[in-house]
Amino acid sequence: MIETEIYVREGVEELAAHYKEVITLLGEDPTREGLEKTPMRVAKAMQVLTRGYTQDPHKVLTDALFEEKYNQMVIVKDIDVFSLCEHHMLPFYGKAHVAYIPNGYITGLSKIARVVDIYSHRLQVQERLTQQIKDCIQETLKPLGVMVVIEAKHMCMQMRGVEKQNAITTTSDFSGAFNQAKTREEFMNLLRRER
């Protein structure tokens, strides 16, 4: 479990002051009992939700880099994704599925999930998030190929706008060996198993 206080960083007081003003502009009284501590709680929460700006995903991968002659597909699937849409700052959430084909080096499996976590804890759009994860793994591990698929629901579509509760957005990006349809198909078939 991640301890929230670890992520409190510089600027939290100023951020809280802005949230107090937002509450006022929405027509509420930020000094009433139920809202008195809300500006600071929201400021701290936003720092946790955007902690990815203070973390280096490339370093995460290289900290657990091992020489290994394995050159078949490695898949980490069903990685929980929670992010904030940069257009409305509302959450989107779902699953990320990541595959790579090593080229002499592997990384710790948990590090793939950490890369997803770091990029998703920034203001995002799903399309960019998918590409950033793929690019980071490709640039850092230099594998024979990488493929990332993200399936997510967006609160900006569920709570406002079109209000479609069951819409799922799927994005994918790939490189190297995954440019071959056969390799992509193998990955997708492996994802469908036991689901």
Would residue 126 show up in a list of annotated catalytic residues for this protein? yes
pLDDT tens readout for residues 103-129: 999 999 999 999 999 999 999 999 999
Q: Please name every residue paired with 85 in a beta bridge, in sequence order, or none if there are none.
A: 124
Catalytic residue among 47, 126, 132, 138: 126
88 is catalytic: yes
Q: Which of 55, 58, 131, 156 is catalytic?
A: 156
- Alpha-helical segments (H) within 31-180: 38-49, 57-62, 109-120, 126-141, 155-158
* Average pLDDT of the segment spanning 69-76: 96
pLDDT at 152 over 60: yes
C-alpha closest to that of 57 among 134, 114, 125: 114
Whole-angstrom Cα Rg for the chain: 19
| Annotated catalytic residue, options 13, 18, 28, 87 | 87
pTM score, whole prediction: 0.92
> Given 88, 151, 158, 186, which residue is catalytic?
88
Mean pLDDT computed over every residue of the chain: 94
